[in-house]
């Protein structure tokens, strides 16, 4: 039994370690810092709308580089935002399949709670938010999880045990109830907003 647990712990720790490379810190001048997830290797980053509220923005990568960032799109209803930085060959997280998830499955939130960089917290899926009063949306737009999100987790990834992205952490709804925007909602947001967005301004390292 001990060897099985050790093997499981090592596997989960390895998956989380890979995810950390794709987690960034998003900073603005007005509301402090949150987290973000690298969606595309050429500098496309997804975070929460309430994290990317007012610019100018900076994005700090896991390797220590810091870039100024251009806001491409915001969606207050889904609490999502897309940023662009002038960088290439960045590490990304593979999107997971939300529709394959079930209540009781383990998931992990990665972010920067209270300034602790790339911290991880784990819990289980409670269900899917089809009737969140403040955020009317479809069944798979919200994932409700039994884990403790803290300031600095917002905008960071929610991943499954394989390290695949299943959501973007966005809010708490109780002492140990967290809510994430599902990766399916993220895909839809990006399809809709990027097709209508003008070309991003240049963003350079600072």
Note if 62 is an active site residue. Answer: no
Instruction: Report helix, strand or coil for 12.
Output: helix
- With H, G, I as helix, E, B as strand and everything else as coil, classify residue 14: helix
Does the annotation mark 89 as catalytic?
no
**Taking a C-beta distance cutoff of 8 angstroms, is the pair 85, 203 a contact?**
yes
Identified catalytic residue from 40, 50, 135, 140 = 50
Among the options 22, 68, 154, 182, which is catalytic? 154
Bond before 56 cis per omega within 30 degrees: yes
Cβ neighbours for 186, distance < 8 A, ≥ 6 positions apart: 39, 46, 80, 167, 168
Residue 151's SS3 state is coil
- The one catalytic residue among 75, 79, 141, 160: 79
| Whether 154 is catalytic | yes
With a CB cutoff of 8 Å and minimum separation 6, the contacts of 52 are: 26, 28, 71, 74, 81, 83, 155
| H helix runs in the chain, sequence order | 2-20, 183-196
Q: Which residues are identified as catalytic?
A: 50, 79, 154
């Amino acid at each position: 039994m001990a060897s099985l647990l050790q093997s499981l712990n090592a596997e989960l720790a390895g998956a989380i370690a890979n995810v950390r490379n794709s987690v960034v810190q998003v900073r603005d001048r007005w509301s402090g810092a949150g987290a973000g997830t690298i969606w595309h290797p050429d500098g496309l980053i997804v975070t929460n709308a309430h994290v990317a509220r007012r610019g100018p923005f900076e994005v700090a990568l896991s390797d220590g580089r810091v870039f100024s960032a251009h806001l491409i799109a915001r969606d207050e209803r889904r609490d999502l935002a897309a940023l662009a930085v002038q960088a290439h060959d960045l590490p990304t997280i593979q999107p997971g399949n939300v529709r394959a998830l079930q209540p009781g499955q383990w998931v992990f939130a990665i972010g920067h709670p209270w300034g602790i960089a790339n911290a991880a917290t784990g819990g289980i899926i409670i269900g899917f938010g089809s009737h969140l009063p403040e955020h009317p949306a479809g069944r798979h737009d919200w994932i409700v999880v039994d884990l403790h999100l803290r300031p600095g987790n917002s905008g960071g990834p929610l991943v499954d045990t394989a390290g695949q992205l299943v959501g973007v952490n966005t809010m708490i709804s109780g002492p140990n109830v967290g809510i994430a925007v599902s990766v399916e909602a993220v895909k839809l947001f990006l399809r809709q907003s990027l097709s209508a967005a003008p070309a991003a301004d240049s963003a350079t390292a600072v």
